[in-house]
Amino acid sequence: MMKWIKILPVAVLLLMGVTVVSHAEDKPKVIRYGFNGNGLGRPFTGGVGGVINDKNLLEKEFAKDGIRIEKTFLASTGPGLNEAFASGLLDIAGFGDFPNIVGRAGGLKTRWILVGVRGDNSRIIVHPESNITSVKQLKGLRIGVAKGTWAQLWFAKILVVNGLTEKDVKVLNLKGSDATAAFVAGSIDAVVGGSLSLVDQGLAKILYESNKDPQSLRGRDGLLVTEAFAQKYPDIVKRIVKVNIQAAYWLSQPQNTAEYLRISGKTGGVYKDAKKDYLTHDLKVKWNPRLDKEAIDHYQAKADFCYANGYIRNKLDVEKWADKSFSEAALKELGLENYWK
Amino acid sequence: MKTRKLSLIVLGILLMGNVSLQAEEIPDKEVVDNVSQAEAPAIEQPVSQADLEGVRGELAVLSDKLARQLDKNVAATTRSLKISGSTSSKYSAVQYTNKPGEYKSGFAPSSVSVSFKGNLKKDYDYGRDLNYVAGFSASATSTATSNTVPQDAYIQYSLLPTRDQELPTLTLQFGQQKRLFGLEAASTEEKQPVINGATFAGGSGLNLSPRDIGLQLKGDLFPTVDLGFGYRVPLIEYYLGVYNGAGANLPDTDTSRDILGRIVFNAPVGFYSPYKGLSFGSSFYKPGDVDITNAAGLKGRGSKFRYGQDISYVSAPIGFTAEYAVGRDENFSNSTASAVKTTTQSQGYTLTLFYSFGEQFLPNFKSQSRSDDWWPKTYEPFVRFDRWDPNTSVDNDHTTIVTYGLNVFFAETTKLAINYSLTDKLSTNLKQNDLVVQFQYSF
């Protein structure tokens, strides 16, 4: 008995030591970060993620902690990143509003912690000889759309604004080169997100562009983190958010436009088109990362639209999903709390 | 005094204004420092005539290089073509456990298959494409000569539009193709971790899934599409085939046709549901009647029938499949002149469990944009229980094979498979343990 009494405190001390050690190591060995990939198959992306990647901002931020950054660029973009979240392969990822919303409504345990970009643009192109001059005239026509992407949601909303629904047109699920080939062959009447190169070549004309539309109609990106990671490593998440905000601030400065176009050009887009589109934006608005009321209302409206149109089966309460705590703390730390107000 | 006070107030306001202005433009030095301010070229800087000539020159060189390569080095086809193929290198060892000392081992001859696939007519409007498949396989025979035979050789047409994932599909295939009876024939590698197929499906069993010449309809109904994950699953999949029944590369020998049907019910759920990957299938196969004789010279026609059930739950990383098949074959009851027709019933089943440590079976995750030749390394241990009873009315004539194995996926089209099987064949009192180590690689 005496022996046990002597051993017990030693055992308790040892256990406490282990506990202390485990608390001291309460940081991840690796941060698994997901980005939208690209058709070229190279590890590059655009937007805030593009700047973070190009300038190795995460690696710099976490070098002193010995935390490795594992970057995953998925060519399958939003659906692929949702699959990776569902399979427990990512901690954090930034991608489009539509897959953000559909993934969460489908059961993914994520928190929406930052806005990636506001006001992504898209366009509808039609044949140059066509008499179509308004979206209303698309009724009954064959339209090429990449289903499952934010462009589908954008198009669906544009139709509603013009008194139509997806059921009033013949939507064909066509992506990239397939859509272009079908359009040039005359098999379809319009393409959503059609290339400006076709317009330059005289093979198409622009029917509709979103760059003058209100923000509520345009595309957005969101940064999501898994609930488990956010709960376990709140300080790490705040620092990741801080890096994102630094990149957003850099993007909002007009003097960095040329360098950004070089960064985004690595994803394989046409430089001339990207530049033309980019210069139409108010950069400070475009790169505003705040989870403000406008951002939450925007996502809520889109989630409601998705539910009403059968894209998601469960209603989504965006206010509950959004977690401002990281971004507000990071903005304050960076002295940017008034910059985007 | 008043002037001094006023000056101080104005100075104060100016200073405050300046501070707030600075806070607006450069809020924190850290922000600027952390994002390096490399010398950025001015966006509107014009290019010179010399720059333009340089670009034109580069384009001309590229154009010439491409034209020359197309002319001299690049193979051309009349229509689109995708060439693929697979082969394997195998080492096997056999130990007869009830015959001490008997042991065989060695490197096994390889078989090679090559497949050509392409499009004959593309329908941009609705995706009702006309496609073709032509494949060959070559394998060594006992006389060490190669045996090259056509495998798949069929034309395929989509009867329904394929552009919209939310619509059902229906495809017609005409020519030499696989008979899709049960999981064994209709499934991909995702549901079949074992090198050898189930005994009941093979040549010594019911011979369920060889190739045959005929017409086959494949389709599905009521698809569930989870756009957020790029996932589509139909509630019902169905297959209906009519074949010669003579087998691959053989002309028809009679007027009867073999008929095959299969229906599969999948759980109509989204990607993130725990029921994703749950399926129930039923198959039947009705070969044409065959000539039967006995030693006493009796002649007649005997009927055959096969049916099966299967269940699978495959949702990475876990997988479970179970399949059961029954055969009924008419023959003469004995070898005397008074023999009557009787039916022999045979049956077999398999149970397979597997688990994937890795991302081999996550289709989207594999499509990574990377600079290297990356592939998700995946380890898949499995166990399969396989039983075949050639005549259910005879006791102790069944064969049992338990296979333990490991698949290692380490490159896009290459896997190492290690299978260790324990076979107990009661009909011939054969007990053997087999070890097969195989590299399977395709292009």
| Bond prior to A289 in cis (omega within 30° of 0) | no
| A249 near B CB under 8 A | yes
Contact A289, A244 (CB under 8 A): yes
Q: What is the mean pLDDT of residues A138-156?
A: 87
User: Domain A24-119+219-333 belongs to what architecture?
Assistant: 3-Layer(aba) Sandwich (3.40)
* pLDDT tops 70 at residue B13: no
Give contacts of A 221-240 with B, CB under 8 A: none
Q: Please tell me which of the candidates A79, A87, A174 has its beta carbon nearest to residue B163.
A: A174
Contact B229 A275 (CB under 8 A): no
Chain B residues lying within 8 Å of A182, measured CB to CB? 124-125
A256 contacts on B by Cβ (under 8 Å) = 40
CA distance B48 to chain A (A): 17
How close does chain B come to A102, measured CA to CA in Å?
5
Give yes or no for residue B25 having a pLDDT over 80.
no
Of B34, B38, B163, the CB nearest to A173: B163
Chain B residues lying within 8 Å of A169, measured CB to CB:
none
The Cα of A79 is separated from the nearest Cα of chain B by a number of Å equal to 4
Confidence grade of residue A11 (pLDDT, cut at 50, 70, 90): low
Whether the pLDDT of residue A159 is over 80: the answer is yes
pLDDT confidence tier of residue B362, bands split at 50, 70 and 90: confident
Is B27 within the bounds of a domain? no
- The one-letter amino acid code at B324 reads Y
Domain with CATH 3.40.190.10 in chain A: 24-119+219-333, 123-216
Residue A17 pLDDT exceeds 50: no
Residue in A closest to B27 by C-alpha: A335
Cβ–Cβ below 8 Å for B364 and A76: yes
Separation between Cα atoms, residue A201 and residue B60, nearest integer Å:
20
Q: So what's the pLDDT on residue B143?
A: 62
Convert the pLDDT of each residue in B180-226 to its tens digit: 999 887 778 888 899 999 999 988 899 887 899 999 999 999 999 88
Has residue A19 got a pLDDT over 70?
no
Q: Which of A36, A64, A76 to mutate to test the interface with B (most CBs of B within 10 A)?
A: A76
Q: Is the pLDDT of residue B230 over 80?
A: yes
pLDDT number for residue B44: 59
Evaluate if residue B30 carries a pLDDT over 70. no
pLDDT digits (tens, 9 = 90+) for B39-87: 445 555 678 888 889 889 889 999 999 999 888 888 889 998 999 999 9
Mean per-residue pLDDT of chain A:
88
A273-287 pLDDT tens trace: 888 888 888 999 999
In a domain, B58, yes or no: no
Answer for the pair B156, B175: CB distance below 8 angstroms, yes or no: no
List the single residue in B with minimal CA-CA distance to A48: B35
- Write out the CATH class of domain A123-216: alpha beta
- Residue A180 β-bridge partners: none
Q: What is the largest CA-CA distance in chain A?
A: 99
Write the ipTM: 0.80
Going by pLDDT thresholds of 50, 70 and 90, the confidence category of residue B437 is: very high
> Which chain A residues have a beta carbon less than 8 Å from that of B38?
259
pLDDT one-digit tens code per residue, A80-106: 999 999 999 999 999 999 999 999 999
Q: How far is B28 from chain A (nearest CA, A)?
A: 6
Determine the pLDDT at residue B5: 53
Contacts of A174 in chain B (CB under 8 A): 163
Name the residue among A57, A73, A250 with its Cβ closest to that of B368: A73
pLDDT greater at residue A263 or residue B97: A263
pLDDT band at B21, cuts 50/70/90? very low
- Total domains in chain B come to 1
Cβ contacts from A onto B, under 8 A = 168
Chain A residues closer than 8 Å to B271 by CB: 82-83, 86, 106
**What tokens appear for A104 in the block?**
């969460």
Interface contact flag, B371 A43, Cβ < 8 Å = yes
CB contact under 8 A, A86 and B229: yes
pLDDT digits (tens, 9 = 90+) for A193-209: 877 888 888 999 999 98
B393-407 pLDDT, tens digit each: 999 999 999 999 999
Contact map slice: A 82-101 vs B, CB within 8 A? 82-84, 86-87, 89, 98-99, 101
Q: Taking 80 as the threshold, does the pLDDT of residue A15 lie above it?
A: no
| Class of residue B416 by CB neighbours under 10 A (exposed 0-12, middle 13-18, buried 19+) | middle
CA distance to partner chain B, nearest, from residue A86 (Å): 7
User: A257 vs B364: CB contact, 8 Å cut-off?
Assistant: no
> Minimal Cα–Cα distance from A6 to chain B, Å?
45
Name the band, by pLDDT with cuts 50, 70 and 90, for residue B343: very high
What pLDDT, on a 0 to 100 scale, did the predictor assign at position B14?
Answer: 44
Instruction: Give pLDDT tens digits for B289-319.
Output: 888 888 888 888 999 999 999 999 999 899 9
Residue B17 has pLDDT above 50, yes or no: no
| Domain extent for B363 | 82-442
Which candidate in B30, B126, B229, B356 is best for mutational testing of the A interface (most A CBs within 10 A)? B229
Average per-residue pLDDT for chain B? 86
Per-residue pLDDT, A86: 93
CB-CB neighbors (< 8 A) of B19 in chain A: none
Q: What is the 3-state secondary structure (H, E, C) of chain B?
A: CHHHHHHHHHHHHHHHHHHHHHHHHCCCHHHHHHCCCCCCCCCCCCCCHHHHHHHHHHHHHHHHHHHHHHHHCCCCCCCCCEEEEEEEEEEEEEEECCCCCCEEEEEECCEEEEEEEEEEECCCCCCCCEEEEEEEEEEECCCCCEEEEEEEEEEEEECCCCCCCCCCEEEEEEEEEECCCHHHHHCCHHHCCCCCCCHHHCCCCCCCCCEEEEEEEEEEEEEEEEHHHCEEEEEEEEEEEEECCCCCCCCCCCCCCEEEEEEEEECCCCCCCCCCCEEEEEEEEECCCEEEECCCCCEEEECEEEEEEEEEEEECCEEEEEEEEEEEEEEECCCCCCCCEEEEEEEEEEEEEEECECCCCCCCCCCECCCCCCCCCEEEEEEEEEEEECCCCCCCCCEEEEEEEEEEEEECCEEEEEEEEEEEEHHHCEEEEEEEEEEEEEC
Averaged pLDDT for residues A3-25: 46
| pLDDT of the residue at B99 | 78
CB nearest to A257's CB, from B34, B43, B126: B43
Question: What is the model's pLDDT at position B4?
Answer: 54
pLDDT in tens, B155-185: 999 999 887 788 899 999 999 999 999 988 7
Residue among A75, A78, A334 minimizing CB distance to B369: A75
Interface of B with A (CB under 8 A): 23-24, 27-28, 30-32, 34-36, 38, 40-43, 123-126, 163-165, 226-231, 270-273, 316, 359, 362-365, 367-371
Return the pLDDT at B39. 47
List chain B residues with CB under 8 Å of A105.
228
Across the interface, of A181, A255, A311, the residue whose CB is closest to B40 is A255
Task: Report the pLDDT value the prediction gives residue A14, as an integer from 0 to 100.
Answer: 47
Length of chain B equals: 443
Asked if residue B5 belongs to a domain, the reply is: no
Q: What is the CATH number of the domain that holds B424?
A: 2.40.160.10
In this prediction, residue B255 carries a pLDDT of 82
- Kindly report the nearest CA distance between residue A141 and chain B, in angstroms: 11
Which residues from B are below 8 Å from A51, CB to CB? 35
**pLDDT over threshold 70, residue B146:** no
pLDDT computed for residue A1 by the predictor: 46
Contacts of B371 in chain A (CB under 8 A): 42-43
Say if the Cβ atoms of B362 and A87 lie within 8 Å. Answer: yes
